[in-house]
Amino acid sequence: MKTERSLVELFASDPERAEALAWGRRGALKGVSLAAVGMALGAAMPFGTRMPGGLLPAALAQSAGDTPILRMDGKVALILLGERPLVAETPEIMLDDDVTPADKMFIRNNGQIPDRFAADPKTWRFRLDGEVNNPLDLSLGDLESRFEAVTMRLQMECGGNGRAAFVPETRGNQWNNGAISNCEWTGVRLRDVIRAAGPKESARFTGHFGADPHLSGATDRAAISRGMPVAKAMEEHTIIATRMNGQPIPQIHGYPLRLVVPGWPGSLSQKWLTRITLLAEPHRGQGMGGTSYRLPVRPIVPGSQNDGATFADMTSMPVRSVLTNLAHGTRLPANTRRVDLRGHAWAGDDEARAVHVSVDFGATWHEMALSPPPNRYSWQRWAGAVELPSDGYFEVWHRATDTKGRMQPHVAPNWNPQGYGANAIGRAAILVG
């Protein structure tokens, strides 16, 4: 694995990608890209009078800084958010595929990466225990032969996706919109396995365990160990996966076995899965309680201290959209008057009902075409076009609405200390001419 600390080197070899990466990330402009900002702000702003007071132009919402890029076998150039643990975001324009290829999938680790050779599929065991009448201790072969195989496209989104939009800044990886994937997963339904174990009536929650060592190396501490209500575990789309996109799961994404809990924070989708325990009370593992994956039930003062005691665990992720054919900061030729747009939208347990785009700071909105998901919990394709009145600086705002009528809000809502659930309207700056 080699990391690249400076965009300058990348600019020399691949200016387009460097530009895209530089603009795709807040706090990421450097060198040549700074010139682009200057140009953008010197340009005419045809809809400038529509701009809400106090709003920072999207092009300015970035400041000079470093964008380290992950260089890793089997991965495109992802944006490196952290090396220890390894965390990397997918640039929004690389989320254009209906099924996210393995090399474009974001990476979120909380601990160390288990040794590839420790994950021997022949000796791997998966245990289901706790509040059950017949605890199970299964090989991968047992799992595959005893339970029906299912294949589905499932979104997996980090609970902190969009965190960079919070003001004031919250702690944690400063994701833009790229902590989302929509892979095709094959595995067995968790509910079939739970039923085979004969759950007791007292079984109301799950606890998940994986093989990745804690960052410190301490063997009595879990890197992450989250859990959920049994109702979510019994949903037909919650699966124990053995394959991703028709292949064995890549090592970095949980080989040889992982949980996939679509629509809820990605942290529930335990990688390198070794054990699920059923519990009478909510699980108390690493990443549970306090302010972890929990949201204020009543709003708190942004920036204030809070121990999260009255917060509630995050369940369904909120509605969100990505724009995947036009990078933030794209410069289009003079006289471009029509711009084709496309992307994806999703809404946790729910579905997206509409996607609208505005190029005049939200004064008018244009409905895009939106495809139904191929199966529940897959993201959906949206596409359309917008007209521009002249050359100049524009912002493409994209906003999805879910089937309950909830829209992406203008700013990241419900500020919380660890920055979860930031699904603000997407904004991409473009310069025509």
Ligand X SMILES: Nc1nc2c(c(=O)[nH]1)N[C@H]1C(S)=C(S)[C@@H](COP(=O)(O)O)O[C@H]1N2
Binding site for ligand X (CB under 6 A): 105-111, 158, 181, 210, 212, 223-224, 253, 266-267, 269-272
Nearest to residue 193, comparing CAs of 136, 248, 153?
136
Residues 221-280 that bind Mo ion (CB under 5 A): 266-267
How near is the Cβ of 346 to ligand X at its closest, in Å? 15
| Candidate segments 7-15, 40-48, 87-95, 156-164, binder of Mo ion by CB under 5 A | 156-164
What percentage of the chain's residues is helix, strand, coil (to nearest 5)? 15, 30, 55
Question: Of all residues in this chain, which one has the CB nearest to Mo ion in the complex?
Answer: 158
**Residues pairing with 276 in the sheet:** 128, 208
Q: Judge whether 182 and 379 are in contact, CB under 8 Å.
A: yes
State the nearest-atom distance from the C-beta of 353 to Mo ion, in Å.
Answer: 26
Nearest to ligand X of 271, 342 (CB atom): 271
How many positions of this chain bind Mo ion (CB under 5 A)?
A: 4
What DSSP line would sit under 40-80, residue for residue?
HHHS--TTGGGSPTTPPPGGGS--B----EEE-TT---EEE
Please identify, using beta-carbon distances, which residue of 160 and 308 lies nearer to ligand X.
160
Q: Which of 37, 158, 223, 425 binds Mo ion (CB under 5 A)?
A: 158
Interface region with Mo ion, contact rule CB under 5 A, candidates 6-14, 123-131, 151-159, 395-403: 151-159
Q: Please say which residue, 257 or 326, places its beta carbon nearer to ligand X.
A: 257
Count other Cβ atoms within 10 Å, centred on residue 231: 10
**Which C-beta is closer to Mo ion: that of 186 or that of 269?**
269
- Complex with ligand X: residue 105 or 164, whichever CB lies closer: 105
387: tokens are 């007209």
The residue among 81 and 140 lying less far from Mo ion, judged by its C-beta, is: 81
Q: Which is nearer to ligand X, 199 or 210 (CB)?
A: 210
Contact 163, 175 (CB under 8 A): yes
Selected from 75, 108, 226, 283, the binder of Mo ion by CB under 5 A is 108
Residue 391 in tokens: 């050359």
Q: Which is nearer to ligand X, 125 or 200 (CB)?
A: 125
Terminal-residue alpha carbon distance, the chain: 39
Query: Which tokens hold the place of 300?
Result: 């708190």
Decide: 399 and 323 in contact? Cβ < 8 Å.
no
- Euclidean distance between CA atoms 62 and 65, whole angstroms: 9
We find the least distance from the C-beta atom of residue 156 to Mo ion, in angstroms, to be 9
Tokens read off for 281: 């009370």
CA distance 82 to 113: 13
Smallest gap from Cβ 213 to Mo ion, in A, equals: 18
User: Could you write out the DSSP letters of every residue in 217-228?
Assistant: --TTSBS-----
Q: In the complex, what is the shortest distance from the CB of residue 114 to ligand X, in angstroms, rounded to a whole number?
A: 8
Nearest distance, CB of residue 210 and ligand X, angstroms: 3
> What is the closest distance, in whole angstroms, from the C-beta atom of residue 158 to Mo ion in the complex?
3
Please choose, out of 153-161, 194-202, 294-302, 420-428, the segment that lies near Mo ion by the rule CB under 5 A: 153-161
Considering the complex, what minimum distance in angstroms separates the CB of residue 378 from ligand X?
A: 16
* Residue from 318, 289, 287 nearest 413 by CA: 318
Residue 131: Cβ within 10 Å count: 18
The residues binding Mo ion (CB under 5 A) are 108, 158, 266-267
